[in-house]
Structure 1
Amino acid sequence: MAHGHARPILLGLIGSPIAHSASPAMHEAAAEAVGLRAHYQLIDVPGADGAQLRTLLSALAPIGFSGVNVTFPYKERVLPLLDDLSPGARAVGAVNTIVVRDGRLTGHNTDTTGFARALIEAFGPRPEGPVALVGAGGVGKAVAVALAQFEGIEVRLVDADPAKAEAVAAALAGHAAVRVCGSVAAALDGARGVVNGTPVGMLPDRGTPVPAELLRPGMWVADAVYSPLWTPLLVDAARIGARTMTGRELAIHQALDAFALFTGREAPAEAMARAFDRAVTPPAG
């Protein structure tokens, strides 16, 4: 049967600012690769309060969405508005993927599964710790839970809001060694790995969450930001010869896992990776 006339699967992304997102390209290309059609809508809502978020989420099923991704600043704020949470999303306390089925909304977190897979691909099955993790918000929490899956890794968490870091440490108590550090410098002292889980370094911001002089050549350094791909942090790390992982790997792996949840189909990694590269590195000239 020809599927050309079938209604496209409707997907989207809720967050702000999201103009740089590679998600539409990745999900639409993945659908095409498995013989489906998808339309992926950017839903850029700056400064939505709880009531506005609730209105938006309650419209997803009637409009016909199969699911949406959620990004900064709403990964934590959507939690109380969902019908159900996967164990992973509940553990993290943040949602980046909402599946819409029979009018019910279920929250998942593919940042966690995606980051763990990306890390193994980049740095091998046993990434070395201790790991300094900057940021205890939506992405930082997902990264902390992902790191907790690796045996014997100490996570040193630092956040501009120490209460946030303390809450993540408390949530992971018994599952991982998590230490809250009062400063980035303290977190990096003797660390083998560094992860940026904050939006610092994401365009138009040109900052870095870690002063360059704290980085060492023997470290591995990962960034969750992919706009730009080479953030100031990663440029500093590469300059001294540290091993690096850009936000590309996390972006692709979290999207692969989300696509499988949205469609029930195995997502084609090659198609998603190519789509990401086209979206993030536009053709020269």
Structure 2
Amino acid sequence: MYQKKLVGVFGDPVDDNPSVVIEQVAFDYMKLPMEYLTIQVKKGDLQAAIEGLRAMNFTGINITMPHKIDVLQYLDYVADDAKIMGAVNTIYVKDGKLYGENTDGKGFMRNLRNGNVPTKGKNVVLLGAGGVARAISVELANAGVKHITVVNVIKEEGERLVELLNSKTSVEATFVFWDHKYSVPDKTDIVVNATPIGFVNKEEKPNIVYESIHPQMVVCDVIPNNMNTLFLEEAKKIGCKTFHGMQMLVNQGAIAFELWTGLEAPVQVMLEALAKVYGD
């Protein structure tokens, strides 16, 4: 009996996981016999679930919390940048071996490259210090950014990220405790909101001095369910070049698609499907 190849996401169940939308529409558009499944894997069952990938002939999976860190110990190979980040969100199977990648930062970097935004020697302000911020900052460091200022409301979290960047990459990183309305330094080239501010409540925006942003800055948001966050709207009023998180999410999904299939992803089809479900 002919069966579809299986791909999926392991982790806490999410009713409206956007990866299901963009990956399945890509498989269907390319007429590939592949099915993307959402599978709840409890914390204590991770090893058994990963071992089951081979037994069930999965092509690959995405990994969500709470497994992004713990899964590394069960993989045969982990990409160098993912090792620095200490987290994996995408696994593909090749010749029976499990390979781990982190596409969070790669999706962000593809946004910048597609927009012809140079990174070498540039100064970045990164709002947030969680998992997405960590992935983005490592990829920016690897792309030759000169300096990253990490701005975060949790002091210990921000200091850990700065220590990681200074010890594991060639970038110079400093930390600013976000207990005030933050003013973006004048010499900043790229500003990134890597916090969840604006995700649940679309009327929220990061607590910064928006008058400190100037038109020469590139402003990016990682919020995946809104192309026009208030953060980006403020930047657009100033005249900045902006990038939204929905495109970043599609780029992440496209990279995963390419790892699983070896084919170029239908990015525009994926973006249109995501915008139809989550767009304004």
For Structure 1 versus Structure 2, the TM-score category normalised by the shorter chain is 0.7 to 0.9
Contact 1:29-1:272 within 8 A present in 2 as well = yes
Query: Which of 240, 243, 246 is the equivalent residue of 1:245?
Result: 243
- Tell me if 1:111 matches 2:111: no
For 2:21 and 2:136, the matched residues in 1 are separated by: 24
Query: Which of 263, 269, 276 is the equivalent residue of 1:278?
Result: 276
Q: 1:64/1:172 Cα in 2 relative to 1: closer, same or farther (>3 Å)?
A: same
Aligned to 2:60: 67
Aligned to 1:195: 192
Contact 2:182-2:209 within 8 A present in 1 as well = no
CA RMSD of aligned residues (A): 3.0
**Alignment gaps of 5+ in structure 2:** none
Deviation at 1:140, TM superposition (A): 0.7
Write the mapping of 1:177-216 to structure 2, written as runs, cut at 5 A: 177-183=172-178, 185=181, 188-190=184-186, 191-203=188-200, 206-211=203-208, 213=210, 216=213
TM-score normalised by L of structure 1: 0.81
Aligned to 1:8: 4
Contact 2:226-2:246 within 8 A present in 1 as well = no
- Tell me if 1:258 matches 2:256: yes
SS of aligned partner of 2:177: coil
For 2:191 and 2:145, the matched residues in 1 are separated by: 16
**Alignment gaps of 5+ in structure 1:** none
Q: 1:186/1:79 Cα in 2 relative to 1: closer, same or farther (>3 Å)?
A: farther
Aligned to 1:36: 32
Aligned to 2:88: 95
Report the AA paired with residue 272 of structure 1: M
For 2:5 and 2:153, the matched residues in 1 are separated by: 40
Write the mapping of 1:113-262 to structure 2, written as runs, cut at 5 A: 113-122=106-115, 124-126=117-119, 129-173=122-166, 174-183=169-178, 185=181, 188-190=184-186, 191-203=188-200, 206-211=203-208, 213=210, 216-218=213-215, 219-262=217-260
Q: 1:273/1:228 Cα in 2 relative to 1: closer, same or farther (>3 Å)?
A: closer
- Tell me if 1:269 matches 2:267: yes
Query: How many residues were matched structurally?
Result: 275
Q: 1:15/1:230 Cα in 2 relative to 1: closer, same or farther (>3 Å)?
A: farther
TM-score normalised by L of structure 2: 0.82
Report the AA paired with residue 255 of structure 2: D
Identity of aligned residues (%): 31
For 2:201 and 2:45, the matched residues in 1 are separated by: 27
Q: 1:9/1:206 Cα in 2 relative to 1: closer, same or farther (>3 Å)?
A: farther
Deviation at 1:73, TM superposition (A): 4.9
